[in-house]
């Protein structure tokens, strides 16, 4: 068990690794311990900006031998704040951002400190892409290990469907390569099982020819009928088109007419990965659903689909992840009713129509097993003050229960907050959970990697 009272000699620790060790006395300590979600205020004993796999192996061994809690951080976006520990050691991958693209072979070796936008921008120089999520600053480490649902999900599947191999430092400090032939169980487990099995130092991805896309943002008024029709059109659309429908009050942004501010809207992020004419045709049914409040759909280079990031933005939010198999009249009425009842600064129900390439992979093939679910829903209330948390948590809990309405309880691991083991299990349906525990027991029997959506090894609490 971690001992929070243990101290670390920073100069001594620095002597053990090539990368920089940041301690509480350093001027940039506060900056270095900050993660994306707001309200996380943890003070690690040391943050190590590791330089290479050897550094990672040393830190893993030191943490194991010294009994320190270990946090592993790529882009720092974990909603539960798992990218930082109180009293333990952070392995911060931010300096490990090498990217080696084999243009002819259409593969890339990517170190796990890269962000989605960094990887995508470099690949786009060759007209190539691997799909990640909807936000450029998310780290490729966390998103890949949890699955990866993004703008190319229906055309090319999850991020893990393009993962060909991983180099990983396991709990005993060894550096292994896992792929379909070598350590196949470990390779199965890291494709959805999160950071439970070791520190991924680099990934080998498949790249697809994705030069320009037709996409961007389409803002429509939201009524229960329009939401339902949007989902129906998204399900009927060609697989080149992936959509993210954010049902929310229209924000007071410059492109939103003042009389629409605060009105319930669908802020849809659309991405058609195919020729421009076909893309225009695919957008037509959505544009016809209602007179758009704003229509910013256009041909663009793929990385431009990522909205610009606001540095220094650390939102607090009450979030629930779930899957739905249909969106009927009752569902859309529930969505509208609950969004209108929220007192959050921003309340949103996000609907992502899945299927296509993601559903063509067998649920047993990877630890992400929700392959047959049709729609991923994420509900969130974003707020400012810490004392608002209980009311938004209560709202999101009620909203999720109303929306689930008899559907199988399920979760996407990358959208889980700190919600307890039962919810982690809901990310791993059927036999997946037991199989993950077996692999965990083999590669991390003492649960060194536990500051995550944890899969406990056999012999520990479950």
Ligand X SMILES: Cc1cc2nc3c(=O)[nH]c(=O)nc-3n(C[C@H](O)[C@H](O)[C@H](O)COP(=O)(O)OP(=O)(O)OC[C@H]3O[C@@H](n4cnc5c(N)ncnc54)[C@H](O)[C@@H]3O)c2cc1C
Residues of the shown chain interacting with ligand X in the complex, contacts defined by CB under 6 A:
36, 72-79, 82-83, 93, 112, 133-135, 138-139, 141-143, 145-150, 194-195, 199-200, 414-415, 452
Measured from the CB atom, the residue of 148 and 274 that comes closer to ligand X is 148
Q: Which residues contact 13 (CB under 8 A, 6 or more apart)?
A: 21, 46, 48, 62
Query: Do 226 and 267 contact (CB within 8 A), yes or no?
Result: no
Measured from the CB atom, the residue of 332 and 454 that comes closer to ligand X is 454
Least separation in angstroms between CB 147 and ligand X: 6
Least separation in angstroms between CB 18 and ligand X: 18
Measured from the CB atom, the residue of 224 and 457 that comes closer to ligand X is 457
CA 344, 84, 25 angle in degrees (round to 5)?
115
Measured from the CB atom, the residue of 14 and 135 that comes closer to ligand X is 135
Distance of CA 55 to the CA centre of its chain: 26
Query: Do 56 and 169 contact (CB within 8 A), yes or no?
Result: yes
Residue of closest CB approach to ligand X: 142
Least separation in angstroms between CB 24 and ligand X: 21
Least separation in angstroms between CB 88 and ligand X: 12
Q: CA-CA distance, 370 to 426, in Å (whole number)?
A: 10
**Helix, strand or coil, per DSSP, at residue 287:** helix
Closest to 200 in 3D by CA, of 74, 65, 99, 69: 74
Counting Cβ atoms within 10 Å, is residue 367 exposed (0-12), middle (13-18) or buried (19+)? buried
Q: CA-CA distance, 165 to 194, in Å (whole number)?
A: 15
Q: What are phi and psi of 81, to 5 degrees?
A: 75, 30
Least separation in angstroms between CB 80 and ligand X: 8
Measured from the CB atom, the residue of 342 and 452 that comes closer to ligand X is 452
Measured from the CB atom, the residue of 194 and 456 that comes closer to ligand X is 194
Measured from the CB atom, the residue of 143 and 282 that comes closer to ligand X is 143
Least separation in angstroms between CB 454 and ligand X: 9
Closest to 15 in 3D by CA, of 44, 52, 55: 55
Query: Do 365 and 299 contact (CB within 8 A), yes or no?
Result: no
Measured from the CB atom, the residue of 72 and 219 that comes closer to ligand X is 72
Least separation in angstroms between CB 27 and ligand X: 23
Least separation in angstroms between CB 142 and ligand X: 2
Q: What are phi and psi of 450, to 5 degrees?
A: -120, -10
- Relative orientation angle of helices 329-341 and 389-404, to the nearest 10 degrees: 170
Q: Which residues contact 255 (CB under 8 A, 6 or more apart)?
A: 219, 294, 296
């Amino acid at each position: 068990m971690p001992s929070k009272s243990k101290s670390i000699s920073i100069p001594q620790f620095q002597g053990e690794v090539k990368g920089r060790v940041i301690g509480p006395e350093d001027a940039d300590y506060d900056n270095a311990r900050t993660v994306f979600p707001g309200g996380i205020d943890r003070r690690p004993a040391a943050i190590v900006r590791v330089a290479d796999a050897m550094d990672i192996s040393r830190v893993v061994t030191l943490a194991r031998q010294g009994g320190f809690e270990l946090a592993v951080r790529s882009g720092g976006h974990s909603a539960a704040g798992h990218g930082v520990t109180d009293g333990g050691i952070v392995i911060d991958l931010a300096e490990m951002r090498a990217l080696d693209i084999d243009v002819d072979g259409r593969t890339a070796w990517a170190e796990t400190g890269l962000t989605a936008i960094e990887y995508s921008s470099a690949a786009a120089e060759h007209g190539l892409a691997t799909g990640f999520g909807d936000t450029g600053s998310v780290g490729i480490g966390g998103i890949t290990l949890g699955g990866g649902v993004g703008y190319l999900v229906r055309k090319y599947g999850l991020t893990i469907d393009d993962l060909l191999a991983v180099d990983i430092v396991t709990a005993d400090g060894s550096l292994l390569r896992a792929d379909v032939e070598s350590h196949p169980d470990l390779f199965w487990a890291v494709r959805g099982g999160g950071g439970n099995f070791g520190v991924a130092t680099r990934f080998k991805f498949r790249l697809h020819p994705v030069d320009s896309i037709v996409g961007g943002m389409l803002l429509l008024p939201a009524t229960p009928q329009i939401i339902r029709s949007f989902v129906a059109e998204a399900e009927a659309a060609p697989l080149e088109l992936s959509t993210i429908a954010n049902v929310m009050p229209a924000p007071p942004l410059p492109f939103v007419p003042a009389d629409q501010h605060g009105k319930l809207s669908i802020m849809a992020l659309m991405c058609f990965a195919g020729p421009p004419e076909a893309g225009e045709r695919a957008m037509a049914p959505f544009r016809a659903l209602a007179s758009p409040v704003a229509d910013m759909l256009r041909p663009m280079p793929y990385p431009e689909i990522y909205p610009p990031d606001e540095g220094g933005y650390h939102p607090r939010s009450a979030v629930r992840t779930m899957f739905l198999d249909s969106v009927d009249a009752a569902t859309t009425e529930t969505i509208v009713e609950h969004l209108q009842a929220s007192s959050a600064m921003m309340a949103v129900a996000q609907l992502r129509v899945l299927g296509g390439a993601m559903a063509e992979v067998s649920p047993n093939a990877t630890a992400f097993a929700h392959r047959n679910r049709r729609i991923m829903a994420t509900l969130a209330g974003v707020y400012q003050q810490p004392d608002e948390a209980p009311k938004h948590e209560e709202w999101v809990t009620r909203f999720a229960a109303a929306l689930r309405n008899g559907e199988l309880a399920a979760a996407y691991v990358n959208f889980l907050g700190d919600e307890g083991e039962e919810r982690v299990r809901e990310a791993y349906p059927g036999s997946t959970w037991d199989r993950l525990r077996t692999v965990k027991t083999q590669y991390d029997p003492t649960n060194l990697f536990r500051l995550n959506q944890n899969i406990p090894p056999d012999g520990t609490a479950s």
